[in-house]
Amino acid sequence: MKQTATTNQQKSGSGTAPAVWAVTLGFNNAQDSVDCLKSLVANEGVDCSLLFADNASLDDSVARVLADVPAARVIQTGANLGFSRGFNVGIDYCLAQGADYVFMVNNDTVLAPDCLARLVEDAQAHPEAGIFAPKIFYFDHPRTIWSAGSRFRPFPPAVVMRKTTGDDDGRFDRDPRLEYTTTCALLLSRAFLEQVGLMDRDYFILFDDYDWSVRARDQGWGIRLVPDAHLWHKVSKSTGVGTRSPFFWTNYGKSAALFFRKHARHRWLTGWPHLAYLLARIVAERTHFGLVPFWKGWREGRRAELHAPPRPGHGETDPFTEIRG
């Protein structure tokens, strides 16, 4: 049964502003991290504390953030923990500081000045939801939507992002309710995180978004698009999507297998028809070089030990070093 978001409702009703934290996870690409954090500093209409969680970058990301974004707190994980475990460290840190809402955002994004205020406003108006997604545009095509949430497509069976090939025409603005959403940028309520838990640490990259969306809806939480909250995404510099990177394809296969095992009752997303679609898509998109590492990852995921998603505030996330508090 879903908990009531009493903290946020009470603060909204009393006129006291909620405590909002934003966290971005960095792995190399120092300039992207600085640009993202500066766009968060420039946000208007909401008081927001900033956290930069460095996931063992090999470049000067930490030094650049320390020098160029003095408003941001900085922590280091000490190892590349992947997307889920890295962000979990940052989200748990924000909650420990008293956050009512946590905004998690990829470091290769830039926010509109009113993005956070729009998200928080919608969150306070809809405490029955726990996940709030902005409308995300391509950085290089700033009026074309990269993601306005995601939906289940029955055939071929898959979760697909709602996007446009040209300028935003408002088609996704009418119904804000979502089935799924990318974890590229999300505002999360404290009550949601305390009930549903953090991201599943078993996913290094990919499928973490499907998993969190399924867990949210299974426990009665809504997922909402906030169509007037905008940001721009430089799109997948870290993971090598669409490249020959064996790292990407192996983790793609492993995460797919993990998701299949954890959510077997969603059979059209976890059964052999979906696996056949994934393999056919790899061939159709002429990324056949990904087949061998994908299958290697799939076998790893079928054998891997499964863990429950970590709970915030219970010491179940990875250790970190605080560089600037």
d(CA 89, CA 206): 18
- Residue 186: the pLDDT is 98
Phi, psi of 231 (to 5 degrees): -150, 170
Q: Where do the DSSP E strands lie in the chain?
A: 20-26, 48-54, 72-76, 101-106, 109-111, 129-138, 145-147, 150-153, 158-161, 185-189, 222-233, 321-324
- Residue 8: the pLDDT is 44
246-260: b (≥16 Cβ within 10 Å) or e: bebbbbbbbbbbbbb
- Residue 237: the pLDDT is 46
Is residue 137 within 8 A of residue 145, CB to CB? The reply is yes
Is residue 77 within 8 A of residue 320, CB to CB? The reply is yes
Q: What class does CATH assign to 6-238+308-324?
A: alpha beta
Q: Which residues of the chain have pLDDT under 50?
A: 1, 3-13, 237-238, 240
Crossing angle (nearest 10°) for helices 246-262 and 208-218: 20
- HSE at residue 219, side-chain half, CA atoms within 13 A, is 19
Vertex 311: Cα angle to 211 and 87 (nearest 5): 65
- Residue 118: the pLDDT is 98
DSSP assignment of 214-259, as one string?
HHHHHTT-EEEEEEEEEEEE---TTT-TTS--HHHHHHHHHHHHHH
d(CA 184, CA 234): 11
d(CA 282, CA 256): 14
- Residue 7: the pLDDT is 40
- Residue 238: the pLDDT is 46
pTM value is 0.92
Is residue 178 within 8 A of residue 152, CB to CB? The reply is no
Domain with CATH 3.90.550.60 in the chain: 6-238+308-324
- Residue 216: the pLDDT is 98
Give the tens place of pLDDT for each residue, 187-223: 999 999 999 999 999 999 999 999 999 999 999 999 9
Output the six-digit token pair for 298.
């799939």
- Residue 10: the pLDDT is 39
200 Cβ contact partners less than 8 Å away, ≥ 6 residues apart: 84, 208, 211, 212, 258, 262, 307, 309
Question: What CA–CA distances, in Å, run from 309 to 84, 103, 194, 195?
Answer: 10, 19, 11, 11
